[in-house]
Structure 1
Amino acid sequence: MSRRAQFLEVLGIPTEWVPRTRVAAPAEAPPHVVAQPAAEPPAAVTAEPVAAAIAHPEAPPAVPAVPPAPERAAPALVPAGPAPGAAQAEREAAIATMDWPALEAAVAGCTACGLCQTRTNTVFGVGARQAEWMLVGEAPGENEDLQGEPFVGQAGKLLDNMLGALGLARGRNVFIANVLKCRPPGNRNPEADEVAQCEPFLRRQIALVRPRVIVVLGRFAAQSLLRTTTPIGKLRGTVHAYEGIPVVVTYHPAYLLRTLTDKARAWEDLCLAREVHDRAGAGA
């Protein structure tokens, strides 16, 4: 075996192809025979790549360069919006830091739910802002919407009489507020979204007043504040808690105007609230 053949075998080329001399076509072909073109010979292995492989035996055989694929433009990134509930959480956090003037202004200008479109006035609340007693109703009625104050009219007069029997008065030593600060049309029950938008205001009012006892007036207010579906008849007579503050549940004054027989039960509830208040004062 020649040295050239040995090199080719090391490179994995056992056979060397060499071009053949083209065979000339016969001068005169028979008229019925068509001359066929000679087959194209395979390309010969030239000495240049062999010599390069010998000079650098560890280098792999040269591979023809492939043009790089055109770069694709990166897809445009769409800015992510706020996570669900993030705006509401931000709003609640802002309300939780407000003082009385800022809170009252926020309620007066609130447009968080559709009730802002039908209200005459917002009903912020009334009474002593450092009171030991706090009363919470459900929502303003027609008279409250017109006057901008909770519990006015006949129901308000009855409530004032009940408070007077305990030595309380709305302008002196009790603060009165509602779960909702705007009147629902037709005095319908508040909707879940309306309560969710308004509750941060009530929560901040309670935090600023820091009462010793909360008296909740009516089924809807009790169920909203305590986050329960338990009927008011089963909520009465038990001391509950909201943000660590004792809560006593009783009937709404408007209900008592229609159901006189339950006035005695409402008085029992107020007496329970007075006991809770006195115990809280003794432990202070």
Structure 2
Amino acid sequence: MYNWTELTCQCMACKKCGLANTRTNVVIGRGNINAPLMFIGEGPGEQEDLRGEPFVGPAGKLLDLLLDAMMISKDSYYIANIVKCRPPANRVPIDDEAEKCLPFLRNQVSLIKPGIIVCLGATAVKYIVDREAKITKIRGQWIEKKGYWLMPTFHPAALLRDESKKIPMWEDFKKIKQKLDEYINSNNGQVC
């Protein structure tokens, strides 16, 4: 396992898959590296690739609005993705790309030690919860795995395409906020 500096260097130098050939920036993550809550999405989009930060495009703005509405403070969370480089045309990462990048994500989780992990979308669910899991079947359900509380929910980009997902995602985020409050209270009010 790498420390943060080593992990960042390894990610920046990575050429393990073809995504390295088309990226503008490596997108490692953003947020509090001691957060009790971690969000994991699919991969960087165009804006994320240009800026080198996850969830800064339209889907990220929607996620930020949702977090603000739930009064989940920026100190409470960290955001990352399954892959650190943008897939061409924002396509879903293929298995080989995800498999090459997952050790970096596992290293991030080990360093952050969140109590709660929110899987944003089908790709995150596939690689974190279960390869055969379907987001539409397990969305909104708490899953305890390897000492973490996992919550599968829709990716914010899905809401931009299909407004019928807004209410279910809102309900999921109410559960996330409740679990986060419980987690913080069980740790004597410590956010990290």
TM over 0.5: yes
* Counterpart Cα distance in 1 of 2:144 and 2:45: 27
Count of residue correspondences: 187
In structure 2, the partner of 1:274 is: 177
Taking the aligned partners of 2:10 and 2:63, their CA distance within structure 1 comes to 28
The residue aligned with 2:105 is: 202
Give the alignment's TM-score, normalised by structure 1: 0.63
Is structure 2 residue 4 aligned with structure 1 residue 100? yes
TM-score if structure 2 supplies the norm length?
A: 0.91
Structure 2: segments with no counterpart, 5+ residues: 188-192
Contact 1:256 1:263 in 2 (8 A): yes
Amino acid at match of 1:120: T
Distance 1:150 1:98 in 2: 21
Larger Rg over CA atoms: 1
Structure with the higher fraction of residues in strand conformation? 2
Q: Deviations over 1:223-280 (max 9, x none)?
A: 1111222221111121113432101011111110111121110011111122322333
- The structure richer in helix per residue is 2
Give how far 1:169 is off: 4.2
Q: Share of identical aligned residues, percent?
A: 43
Task: Give the distance between the partners of 1:113 and 1:227, measured in 2 at CA.
Answer: 23
Which of 88, 102, 119 lines up with 2:23 in the alignment?
119
Confirm whether residue 147 of structure 1 aligns to residue 61 of structure 2.
Answer: no
Q: Is the 8 A contact 1:145 1:183 kept in 2?
A: yes
Give 1:260's match in structure 2, choosing from 144, 163, 171: 163
What runs of 5+ residues in structure 1 fail to find an aligned partner?
Answer: 1-96
Hey, what's the Cα distance between the residues in 2 that align with 1:283 and 1:128? 19
The question of 1:248 aligning with 2:148 is answered no
Letter in 1 for 2:84: K
Alignment of 1:1-284 (within 5 A): 97-170=1-74, 172-284=75-187
| CA distance in 2: counterparts of 1:181 and 1:194, whole angstroms | 10
